[in-house]
Amino acid sequence: MKFGVAKKIILLFVFSVTILSVSLGYYFVKHHRMAALSDLDERAKILCSSVVSASDYPVIIKDRKMLSKIVKGALKQKDVVFIKIVDSQNNVLYQDGEDAAKNAKFYSSPIVVERSEFDKNEELILGSSERGFEKIGEIYLTFSLEGLRKDLNFKIKTTALITVIAIAVTSLFIFLFVRFFVDKPIKELVVGTKKIGSGDLSYKIRINSTDEIGELAESFNKMAGNLDRVTVSRDALNKEIEERKKTEEQLIKTERIAAVAQIAAETAHEIRNPLGVIKTGLYYMGMITPRENTAMRQSIDRMGDAVVRSSDFIDDLLNISKPMELAVGMLDLNDVVKEAIKELPFDFLSDVEVSKELSKDMPPMVGDSRRLKQVVVNLIKNAVTAMRESSVKKLKLKTETNGEFVVFSVSDTGKGVSKEDIPKIFEPFFTKTEIGHGLGLTICSRFVEAHRGKIEIQSEVGIGTTFTVKLPFESRQMMADTFGVVAM
């Protein structure tokens, strides 16, 4: 259970009031007991003096009848339960009451008389000038403390009742005070801080108070207003920064493509001619090399592969640098996928388990079949390259419709792409493998964007990657109006 500030304040006040009330009650009871005992002692002293004054003569003459009257009169006094009168030899002259009373207090007083004339003359002869008294007996009084105990218990109960009522009334007052003047404003502050913390900077804490809590609420409102203004400014600044960042990225991409275009323009012609000569020379070398010379033939094949890769690289450079021109027409995406697979080398998928899920309800679409075929080929080559070191090599090709789009996806069980590399996967020259030159996916992205489509990637390291191409199946007229010649 949550133990809030208000509950702590109430508990502290109740505890303080309880301690104070108990202390005052204890002091009152103790003071009353001391006063009652003092009063009892005073009454006992007076009664003893009275009985002594009245009993001296009856004790001298041993008049028990007169002593009886004196004792009975004394027993009528409050709290007196026993009286005993003895002579100088401690012989009981008279006693009455309950001598064995419990919870009692005992008093005694000697009965003395002034000495006779003869004794006085004797004292004068002996030279004594002091006044002499003679003890002729003693009186014993017993006062019961039962009445005092009952009175004290009554006082304790009354004090306890008053204390409990005082604690209850004070606690109620404290509860109401804290509830309306402390707890409620604090809860309002808590709600306000949660609202502001969740982003609702327009929320205002409403506390009608001029004390410290009211000042705190006002400070929170001012802070929220300042944060609101700062947030608006910050959002505008972040938006501007984001736009500049996108502009810079686009500029960098454009500069890279321009650099590629320049390289392609300067090197394509110079490289293609030597490559053609080398390719022809390798062909004739293969013709004249005996089949038994396996080492030589393997070397010729490797050199031939290198020439093909170099030629492909030049083609990619030219494709990425040229303005995009689409030869649009009606096509079936399933046919594009099938034709792309046929153009792959005959043993390219020999060690890969290929599954095809081509939708039978694919609508016809308008597009450039040659460009789209290149996209399919590049994605398949990229998938197979990614599975080069995988123990399980599975390739899945799938077509389907999704709203206003026809969708083509290529999934592999390769090593996957890290989250850090996914944003850069379509940038020119970005590659994580020794095979390839980092332009295949860039070309795919440009071809798809030229068709007003989009290409997406989903990947998990160690599991595999899926590239998804979404293309709109627009009308021929719309494609003609949009794409006649599209410059990218």
Spell out the domains of the chain, with CATH numbers in brackets.
Answer: 5-114+133-167 (3.30.450.20), 206-322 (1.10.287), 325-483 (3.30.565.10)
Q: Kindly give the confidence (pLDDT) of every residue in the chain, 488 residues in length, as a single tens digit, with 9 standing for 90 and above.
A: 556 666 677 777 778 878 887 888 788 888 888 888 888 889 889 988 888 888 888 888 888 888 888 888 888 888 888 898 998 888 888 888 887 557 888 888 998 887 654 454 555 455 444 556 788 899 998 888 888 888 888 888 888 888 888 878 877 877 777 776 666 676 777 777 777 676 666 667 666 666 666 666 677 777 777 766 666 556 666 777 888 887 777 777 667 666 666 666 666 667 777 888 888 888 888 888 888 888 888 888 778 767 775 676 676 566 666 666 777 888 899 999 998 888 787 788 888 999 999 998 888 888 888 889 889 988 998 899 889 888 899 999 999 998 888 999 999 999 899 988 888 888 877 777 766 667 788 888 888 988 889 999 999 998 999 999 999 876 444 455 554 444 33
Residue identified by tokens 């309880």 is 18
**Neighbour-count burial of 475, counting CB atoms closer than 10 A to its CB (0-12 exposed, 13-18 middle, 19+ buried):** exposed
For the sheet with 104-114, list strands across it. Answer: 92-97, 80-87, 133-144, 104-114
Q: 0.85 cut: is pTM over it?
A: no
Q: ∠326-330-332 over CA atoms, to 5°?
A: 110
- CA–CA gap between residue 393 and residue 386 (Å, rounded): 10
- CA–CA gap between residue 226 and residue 232 (Å, rounded): 10
DSSP assignment of 424-467: GTTSTT--SSSSS-S-HHHHHHHHHHHTT-EEEEEEETTTEEEE
- 376 phi/psi in degrees, rounded to 5: -60, -45
Residue type, 247: T
Which of 416, 419, 397 has the alpha carbon at shortest distance from 408? 397
With beta carbons less than 8 A apart as the criterion, state whether 320 and 442 touch. Answer: yes
